[in-house]
Amino acid sequence: MHPADPTDSGFADTPAPVTRREFVHGAAASAALLAMGGLSAPLAAMPGAMPAVAADRAAVLAQVAAQHDDTLRRLREWIALPSIAAEDRNYPQGPEHMARLAREAGFQHVEVVPTAGKSGVFATLDAGAPTWLAIYMMYDVKQYDPAEWSAPPLEGRIVEKAGLGKVLVGRGATNSKGPQMACLAALHAFRAANTKLPVNLVLICEGEEEIGSPNFRQIVFKPEVEAALKKCVGIIIPLGNQDPDGSVQINLGAKGVVELELVASGEKWGRGPTKDVHSSLAAQVDSPVWHLVQALNTLVKADGHTPAVEGFFENVRPLTAEQRRILDAAIPKRSEESAKRSLGVSRWIADEPWRESLVRLASQPTINIEGLVGGYTGPGGKTILPHRAIAKIDMRLVPDMTAKEALAKLKAHLAKQGFGDVEVNMTGGYDPTETPADSRLVKAMAATYRKVGVEPLLWPRLAGSWPGATFTAAPLKLAAGQFGMGHGGGAHAPDEYWVVEPANPKVAGMDGAARSFVELFYALA
């Protein structure tokens, strides 16, 4: 999921490798939000007179509960079929199953869309409504090692999880089959209630999300897909957006990111050794590791954080008055104390107060070192002069920066500073995203959350990143965002889970998540 709060650090406790996508689809967030009312009442029968739409709506909501066992069965069947692009696993069964799920949920037009890699699925459901909404799904999941799991990763076993309630454990439980199945369950409920959907839907699915969506544009920009998307008021990514405390955040955008490796080596430098040599030679032979340290040192200012790459701030657009207003409204609702505690941090950059540090978090681009590795890295020492060292870097970008621009500026900067030999190997990245607060999609999301009893926290820009620019940038310029009640965790890690029957009444279970989609469709109509 999209963590509701970028000060989230729950991911750091997961035993398995955590990637950017883990962050996007990850587990709990830590924002301390307003206390909010219980969920049960608004989701139960509506009081008073009941007009036609309200009657339909009530019938649909009732069907969500009635279909509980069917939804769970469908989710388990899906989890039993893990599609893993990196392993060429369950292909073409993955997209075929995805297409079947779409057909069964009521999509009238369903087609598998070939790409240079794994096929996607494109589907439409025309309910004759005036409004079109797009839904993004992924049918692939992350690799897993059954030996690390306490329950079989493909069984979908229901277990009691302390503090959370009954959860379904399985690969893909929260990332992203559980939330996606909740969305599909909403459609099944409309069918079962024999009620027309209040919106038309475009479904766009891929099977390579876990390898960085290398062919996704081939699906999105297939002419009939693009044409369908252009009719939409926006696109939602089904996710369990709730923290364990029930809170929900709506992010109006996200920073972009460039991940890259800086590699200094004797080979490329033309100085120093081309293999590790004895460290006594440091008196005679240049060191590619010192070279890397000196190159790195040029990338941030003496304060240790402000990017010093030439021209880096050229296209940084300051926060708008509207964004500042949203921040001003949200900041008092977030607890500095709980953020510091959860992060293990005692001071913010430059000893700034909470408010300033959050403005900085939302507004500033960064250059971060994810990791350093070179030479001898084991216990104690080893007297070598290494021929090669690597810094793993990520740069976070704000509008109107682009990944391409940031990468080019970094390269130019290094060359100008005398480090043109240091290799810059980009491993991933994408542009920032923005979705207007006054878009129909965001308004409908906020109204839906309120309707089901949660006051969402609007936030101008997630400091984390997700590859949504495909939708939000030209030519589509769609409003886009993760949506859905519910909670899960352990994405990319063992014992991934999705809450089916929550212990905390403020958290939605599987049916509650499905009902939030029903409500969103009505809110958009």
Interface with a second copy in residues 466-505 (CB under 8 A)? none
Q: How far is the CB of 413 from a second copy (least distance, A)?
A: 16
Q: How far is the CB of 354 from a second copy (least distance, A)?
A: 10
Residue count, binding to a second copy (CB under 8 A):
93
Nearer to a second copy, 119 or 465 (CB): 465
Question: What would the x/- binding string for a second copy be over residues 308 to 347, using CB under 8 A?
Answer: -----------------------------------xxxxx
Site for a second copy in 147-206 (CB under 8 A): none
Nearer to a second copy, 343 or 408 (CB): 343
Give the one residue of 167, 173, 463, 493 binding a second copy; rule: CB under 8 A. Answer: 463
Give the one residue of 462, 485, 518, 520 binding a second copy; rule: CB under 8 A. Answer: 462
CA distance linking residue 97 with residue 323, whole number of Å: 42
- Angle (CA) 492-493-494 rounded to 5° is 135
CA distance linking residue 424 with residue 393, whole number of Å: 10
Q: How far is the CB of 94 from a second copy (least distance, A)?
A: 23
- Specify burial of residue 92 (Cβ count, 10 A radius: 0-12, 13-18, 19+): middle
If one asks whether residue 424 binds a second copy (CB under 8 A), the answer comes out as: no
Question: What would the x/- binding string for a second copy be over residues 426 to 455, using CB under 8 A?
Answer: -xx---------------------------
Nearer to a second copy, 41 or 369 (CB): 369
If one asks whether residue 18 binds a second copy (CB under 8 A), the answer comes out as: yes
Give every CB contact of residue 351 below 8 A, 6+ residues apart in sequence: none
Q: How far is the CB of 355 from a second copy (least distance, A)?
A: 12
- Whether the ω angle into residue 400 lies within 30 degrees of 0, i.e. cis, is yes
CA distance linking residue 485 with residue 506, whole number of Å: 10
Q: How far is the CB of 83 from a second copy (least distance, A)?
A: 21
CA distance linking residue 151 with residue 169, whole number of Å: 7
Inter-residue contact 442 to 252 (CB < 8 Å): yes
Give every CB contact of residue 493 below 8 A, 6+ residues apart in sequence: 14, 15, 16, 18, 22
If one asks whether residue 47 binds a second copy (CB under 8 A), the answer comes out as: no
CA 188 to chain centre: 26
Q: How far is the CB of 391 from a second copy (least distance, A)?
A: 8
β-pairing verdict for 165-169 and 497-502: antiparallel
Inter-residue contact 359 to 327 (CB < 8 Å): yes
236-246 in b/e form (b: 16+ CB < 10 A) is bbbbbbbbbbb
Site for a second copy in 369-388 (CB under 8 A): 369-378, 380-387
Range in contact with a second copy (rule: CB under 8 A) among 65-73, 362-370, 403-411, 510-518: 362-370
Nearer to a second copy, 69 or 351 (CB): 351
Q: How far is the CB of 483 from a second copy (least distance, A)?
A: 21
For the chain, the C-alpha Rg in angstroms (whole number) is: 24
Side-chain half-sphere CA neighbours of 236 within 13 A = 28
Q: How far is the CB of 173 from a second copy (least distance, A)?
A: 21
Nearer to a second copy, 97 or 255 (CB): 255
Nearer to a second copy, 461 or 506 (CB): 461
Tokens representing 2 are 């999209």
Tokens representing 516 are 């939030």
Within 10 angstroms of residue 270's Cβ, the number of other Cβ atoms is: 10
CA distance linking residue 158 with residue 170, whole number of Å: 9
Site for a second copy in 248-307 (CB under 8 A): 255, 257, 259-261, 266, 270-287, 289-294, 296-297, 300, 302, 304-305
Q: How far is the CB of 374 from a second copy (least distance, A)?
A: 5
CA distance linking residue 112 with residue 186, whole number of Å: 23
Side-chain half-sphere CA neighbours of 224 within 13 A = 10
Give the one residue of 15, 17, 146, 332 binding a second copy; rule: CB under 8 A. Answer: 17
Picking from 249, 240, 215, the residue whose alpha carbon sits closest to that of residue 470 is 215
Question: What would the x/- binding string for a second copy be over residues 391 to 410, using CB under 8 A?
Answer: -x-x-x--------------
Q: How far is the CB of 262 from a second copy (least distance, A)?
A: 11
Give the one residue of 12, 50, 86, 159 binding a second copy; rule: CB under 8 A. Answer: 12
Q: How far is the CB of 8 from a second copy (least distance, A)?
A: 7
